[in-house]
Amino acid sequence: MRTTTHNLRVDGSRLWSTILETATFGATPAGGLNRLTLSPEDGQVRDWFREACEAAGLEVGVDALGTQFALRRGRDMSRPPVACGSHLDTQPTGGRFDGILGTLAGLEVMRALNDAGIETEAPLLVINWTNEEGSRYAPAMMASAAYAGEFTTEDILSRRDAAGISVGEALDAIGYRGTEPVGARKIGRFVELHIEQGPILEAEGKTIGVVEGGQGIAWFDGTIQGFESHAGTTPMPRRRDALLGLAEIALAVEDVAKAHGPSAVATIGEAVIGAPSRNVVPGQVRFTLDLRDPRSAILDAAEAALRARIDEIAERRRLTVALTRIWRKEPVPFDPAIVDSVEAAAGALGLSHRRMVSGAGHDACNLAGQVPTAMIFVPCRDGVSHNESESATQSDCTAGANVLLHTLLALANAPA
């Protein structure tokens, strides 16, 4: 006989205490977190997560890329588990909620089910994916991408950080190179709870974002080659200034994104002058470009328009510009049935909500091509994320965890 679950709720105070407790691992003076993937601080929070999951009766396994899987058994263990989770690594100046909320809310859901003595038909699984952020190692979301078959385990293990330390060496250093083959643990459904990392929910006074999919993303590396010359003796008309070329390109990037709006966004996030000197006209600049939109055709059109603008700038300024696309992720639609389940859970709980598209990349976006997937968003203050001031309220975190709870229950107890 099944226990009635419509009145079941998570313990919001316990979830909040858990978030604050884990915020001691890699805490910064400004109140944020510096918990780069596979760092000693990441090792500490992984140990904490493993021990907390085991205390909740979950069976914890680790795959060859360090991803942690915490299983709660169901009545029918022949069914693939319904999974949730996110990540526990952060940016160098990250906040306390990005990824962390989704992982710890998954743990809280398991604790709430334990407290109520509820057994689900299908097993449940909480996942902590390795290196979602991509700050120390590229690519971002590398473990979920490898799980989805986009990279081999050997490829990811060989990636190196700026200090020359490989992923494999870093895993060994913190004791998290697991024995499970990547992708061997099958997942039936996946739901990821996350802060929005944008301003829409807060601006509209909505508590829950029902996420229908993720934006397409294209990443580029660029090099502008000019000519180094004396800053005091080279007349302005004779200069081939690579930095001024970048300045024009940056404005062109803004123009192109606006012209292909309203959802297109583009960012030059890194720029480095080659051999910089105070009294030398810059001869080379390297830069990165991030281009995003929920529509594949707009990504194509924006890239073409930007390349045309760059060619014009390069010719006029007598520069050589190379722009190489190094990665592209197509727009990701989430599973309509799971999206409906998230929306139904929010409605049944009486929570204001809206459908939306994720502007950021997430592990759920990698999994969506292999596993039926959806996401739940809650607001964050001023839409700020990847910043030490990142903040969310206890009530919103609790609301998101309750939507996660009831979505997982609906999926795990649905007919096989």
Extract the annotated binding site for Zn(2+).
Answer: 87, 98, 133, 194, 386
| Residue carrying the six token digits 């996401």 | 375
Q: Are 378 and 400 in contact (CB under 8 A)?
A: yes
Tokens of 184: 């061997």
User: 293 forms bridges with which residues in the sheet?
Assistant: 216
Q: What are the two backbone dihedrals, phi and then psi, of residue 343, each rounded to the nearest 5 degrees?
A: -65, -40
CA within 13 Å, CB half, 331: 19
The residue among 156, 152, 123 whose CA lies nearest residue 139 is 156
Dihedral angle of Cα 402, 406, 412, 414, to the nearest 10 degrees: -170
By CB atoms closer than 10 A (0-12, 13-18, 19+), residue 199 is middle
Q: Are 148 and 369 in contact (CB under 8 A)?
A: yes
Nearest-angstrom CA–CA distance, 31 and 90: 13
Residue count of the chain: 416
User: For residue 203, what are the CA distances in angstroms to 148, 354, 383, 385?
Assistant: 35, 12, 9, 16
Read off the DSSP letter of residue 416: -
Gyration radius of the chain over CA positions = 23
| Other Cβ atoms closer than 10 A to 302 | 24
Residues 6+ apart with CB under 8 A from 297: none
Tell me the binding residues: 87, 98, 133, 194, 386
Residue type, 96: R
Tokens of 8: 């079941």
SS3 92: coil
Residue type, 202: E
Residue type, 118: I
Tokens of 230: 């004396």
Q: Please give, one letter per residue, the 3-state secondary structure of 234-264.
A: CCHHHCCCHHHHHHHHHHHHHHHHHHCCCCC
